[in-house]
Amino acid sequence: MNPRKSHTGTQTAVLTWLQDSGVETLLRAPVIRPGLPGVNATTRAELGHDRWVLLLGGPRLGPAVLFWSLFATLLLLSYGLSRLPDTPARFWQWALLLIGLSQASLPGGLMVVGWLLGLAWRRKQGAALTARSFRGEKIGLVFLTLAALAVLADAVAEGLLGLPSMQIAGNQSDAYHLNWYLDRSGLELPRPWIVSVPLWVYRALMLAWALWLANSLLNWLRWGWGCFTTGGIWSR
């Protein structure tokens, strides 16, 4: 404690508590009871790059895991895509595809969705196009296919070698530096909590996703070739 030199009136003290301990799946700040109400309570947690943060909580002015909002949005989008006719994926397949791609590039994931929808549209409507539109559509699908395959290859590499993207933000926090602030505290200091697992869990899940994607991609390519050649490969 560092009391000010004033000996009359309100006295102010600053208490700094540093705790260096191992990281468990559920990490919670220790119980600290100063015995008096306080102000400007700041809690910081420093995690290593070998941890994957899933959930956290604490005072309102602190970090949040924004990925779960995106997760719910992707599930709704997957359900909508599964209701479209002539697409090669079911709801759970769309969900796995989009959630895995969200760890690398969300715009790239939308490009892959556009590629599959473009092939489905080609199968249904391509034969009704004029000769010039027919060839132009073929050229566009070739470039879109190459771009989609590049996105998928990058997503696999990023998932196996990169770090998870949980979109943690708030009060100058990131995935490994978490900061909470409470302007007025009671007799007990706030106790933020963090749920995290070792990074190898993320790596194992992404490896399983990559194997699933490779198997699914073979089926989608066979389906896509059938869509591409409907009505003729180059001319009707």
Q: From first to last of its 236 residues, what are the pLDDT tens digits of the chain? A: 444 455 566 666 666 767 666 678 998 888 888 777 878 888 888 888 899 999 999 998 999 999 999 999 999 999 999 999 888 999 999 999 999 999 887 788 889 999 999 888 877 765 555 555 656 677 888 888 999 999 999 999 988 888 999 999 999 999 889 999 988 888 888 889 999 999 999 999 999 999 999 999 999 999 988 877 776 665 55
Q: Does residue 30 form part of some domain?
A: no
Q: Does residue 17 form part of some domain?
A: no
Report whether 185 contacts 41 (CB < 8 A).
Answer: yes
CB atoms within 10 A of CB 108: 19
Nearest CA to 58 out of 15, 29, 26 is that of: 29
Q: Does residue 12 form part of some domain?
A: no
Q: Domain span at residue 87?
A: 38-228
The count of domains in the chain is 1
Q: Does residue 210 form part of some domain?
A: yes
Q: Does residue 236 form part of some domain?
A: no
Q: Does residue 145 form part of some domain?
A: yes
Q: Does residue 24 form part of some domain?
A: no
- Strand pairing partners for 182? 41
Residue with tokens 């998870």: 164
Q: Does residue 5 form part of some domain?
A: no
How is 146-189 classified by DSSP, letter by letter? Answer: HHHHHHHHHHHHHHHHS-----EESSS--SSEEEEEEEEE-SS-
